[in-house]
């Protein structure tokens, strides 16, 4: 299982997407960075909904007490302002209007479809598949490191404060994913369950990838932003 | 709305159920108390699932940060052992096996149907209806006070520690329900929305009442425990 999951990451994780190569390599324009921050925020803001739906499937109090930490990490608790707030700091830093981003104004329909499909998957599928779909976090530290380095090197807006979302995820994600991986390895016993878990990881890589397909088609030359979507530089 | 909700409480809240009159008046046998504690625990243990499902419907971070307090109150956080743990303390005090209660062994099918219907209602209905269904807490302080007084007066097992679940809810529920009521009053604007909210409160009183119907039929003379259900005094 462990190596099958790792292979999915190597073949399908969105670190390989051309939009990310553009972004991390310094080739993205200000408008492209803005479009990415705006659209990706819909994903960030939906994560607590996904995690609450997942928690609502578990009759195990210890499991819920572990999983709710993810919600706290995004929504904030106490001194921790939370990942959603940190992403809004990034949005302001790239020149977007905070309130408009918070309302998800101008996001691509593809973004909405892909992210909503994720929340719906977690609502409808088994707890085991829902947990498995979180395991793309195994692949996240590498992309976060690349991204932090790439943004700091190439873009004026990037500094310790504005990339703090990614820095913080580097600290949080390993503990989260260790629990999730352990859960999947212990509970996916039958071949059918293991296949369902691998399919859940592939599904997750699909929805991450599709978000970047949408961005690339809409904002990389020849750019084709769909009707109603964010247009860089528009008033 | 406020008075329409209050009227539902007067007419339909389970404080009026004959099983509660028996329990609070000191007329319940040890076996009847045990059956109540065992069955009611399935409801208690399902509340965080219901609240997580509800949270998963809200895109408002402030709303989620408020609502998650309910999950913490039941699952425990930090120094607070949580309502589920406090209920298990009560279960042991009335002579039940803690582990069997935690596994919900021998609960009535009616209990399961009614409680599962609640979780499903919150999953499927609008956020507004889901919040409205929580408003039976408006009627809870009175029944908790009656219950604490009745249990302490009439039953040997009852003391400050074993009735701490109810004592604690007396402190927590008013803040919870104030937020929920305010939310419903602000968001149920149309006549149709208001009717849906009142129907949600009635639905909730039905499912609370049905649980006691099940207990009464199964455990009050002439007692008819269904196949597979808890039998007082059985080995």
B115-160, pLDDT tens digit by residue? 999 999 999 999 999 999 999 999 999 999 999 999 999 999 999 9
Query: Structural domain of residue B196, as residue ranges?
Result: 2-219
Q: Tell whether A234 is covered by a domain.
A: no
Q: Tell whether B226 is covered by a domain.
A: no
**Average pLDDT, rounded, for chain A:** 95
Quick one: pLDDT at residue B193? 98
CA distances, B1 to each of B132, B139, B177, B189, B206 (Å): 11, 15, 15, 10, 19
Residue of A nearest to B67 (CA): A52
CA distances, B5 to each of A179, B50, B78, B122, B138 (Å): 44, 21, 35, 19, 9
B46 close to B118: Cβ distance less than 8 angstroms = yes
Pairs of CB atoms within 8 A across A/B? 72
Residue of B nearest to A82 (CA): B61
Q: Measured between CA atoms, how close is B99 to chain A, in angstroms?
A: 13
Domains held by chain A: number? 1
Quick one: pLDDT at residue A235? 61
Q: Measured between CA atoms, how close is A139 to chain B, in angstroms?
A: 25
Asked if B56 lies within 8 A of A84 by C-beta distance, the reply is: no
Q: Tell whether B51 is covered by a domain.
A: yes
Here the CATH number for the domain that contains residue B76 is 1.20.910.10
Asked if A49 lies within 8 A of B57 by C-beta distance, the reply is: yes
Q: Tell whether B62 is covered by a domain.
A: yes
Q: Tell whether B139 is covered by a domain.
A: yes
- One DSSP character per residue, A90-146 reads HHHHTT--HHHHHTTTT--HHHHHHHHHHHHHHHHS-HHHHHHHGGGGGGHHHHHHH
Asked if A68 lies within 8 A of B68 by C-beta distance, the reply is: yes
Q: Measured between CA atoms, how close is A67 to chain B, in angstroms?
A: 11
Q: ipTM more than 0.85? A: yes
Question: In chain A, what are the helix, strand and coil shares in percent, each to the nearest 5?
Answer: 75, 0, 25
Question: pLDDT below 50 — which residues of chain B?
Answer: none
Q: Could you give the CA distance from residue A75 to residue B213 in angstroms, rounded to a whole number?
A: 41
φ/ψ (deg, to 5) at B151: -65, -45
Q: Is A56's Cβ below 8 Å from some Cβ in B?
A: yes
Residue of B nearest to A120 (CA): B56
Q: Is B75's Cβ below 8 Å from some Cβ in A?
A: yes
The fraction of chain B above a pLDDT of 90, given in percent, is: 95
Residue of B nearest to A63 (CA): B75
Binned at pLDDT 50, 70 and 90, residue A207 comes out as: very high
ω before B222 within 30° of 0 (cis)? yes
Asked if A71 lies within 8 A of B55 by C-beta distance, the reply is: yes
* A84 pLDDT higher than 70: yes
* A196 pLDDT higher than 70: yes
Would you tell me how many other CB atoms lie within 10 Å of the CB of residue B73? 23
Q: Tell whether A232 is covered by a domain.
A: no
Quick one: pLDDT at residue B235? 61
Element (H, E) at A31: helix A30-55
CA distances, A54 to each of A13, A134, B163 (Å): 22, 10, 32
* A234 pLDDT higher than 80: no
Q: Tell whether A30 is covered by a domain.
A: yes
Q: Tell whether B78 is covered by a domain.
A: yes
Asked if B53 lies within 8 A of A52 by C-beta distance, the reply is: yes
Asked if B55 lies within 8 A of A65 by C-beta distance, the reply is: no
């Amino acid at each position: 299982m462990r190596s099958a999951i790792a292979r999915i990451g190597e073949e399908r994780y969105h670190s390989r997407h051309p939009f990310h190569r553009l972004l991390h390599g310094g080739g993205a324009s200000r408008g492209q960075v803005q479009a990415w921050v705006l659209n990706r925020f819909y994903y960030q803001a939906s994560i607590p909904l996904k995690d609450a739906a997942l928690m609502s499937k578990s009759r195990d109090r210890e499991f819920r007490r572990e999983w709710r930490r993810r919600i706290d990490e995004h929504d904030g608790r106490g001194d921790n302002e939370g990942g959603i707030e940190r992403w809004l700091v990034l949005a302001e830093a790239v020149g977007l209007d905070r309130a408009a981003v918070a309302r998800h104004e101008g996001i691509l329909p593809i973004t909405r479809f892909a992210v909503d499909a994720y929340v719906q998957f977690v609502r409808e599928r088994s707890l085991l598949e829902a947990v498995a779909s979180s395991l793309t976090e195994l692949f996240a530290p590498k992309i976060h490191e690349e991204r932090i380095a790439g943004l700091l090197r190439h873009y004026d807006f990037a500094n310790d404060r504005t990339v703090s979302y990614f820095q913080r995820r580097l600290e949080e994600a390993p503990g989260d994913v260790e629990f999730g991986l352990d859960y999947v390895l212990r509970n996916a016993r039958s071949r059918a369950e293991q296949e369902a878990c691998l399919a859940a990881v592939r599904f997750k890589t699909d929805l991450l990838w599709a978000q970047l397909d949408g961005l690339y088609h809409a904002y990389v030359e020849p750019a084709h932003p769909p009707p109603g979507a964010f247009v860089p530089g528009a008033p």
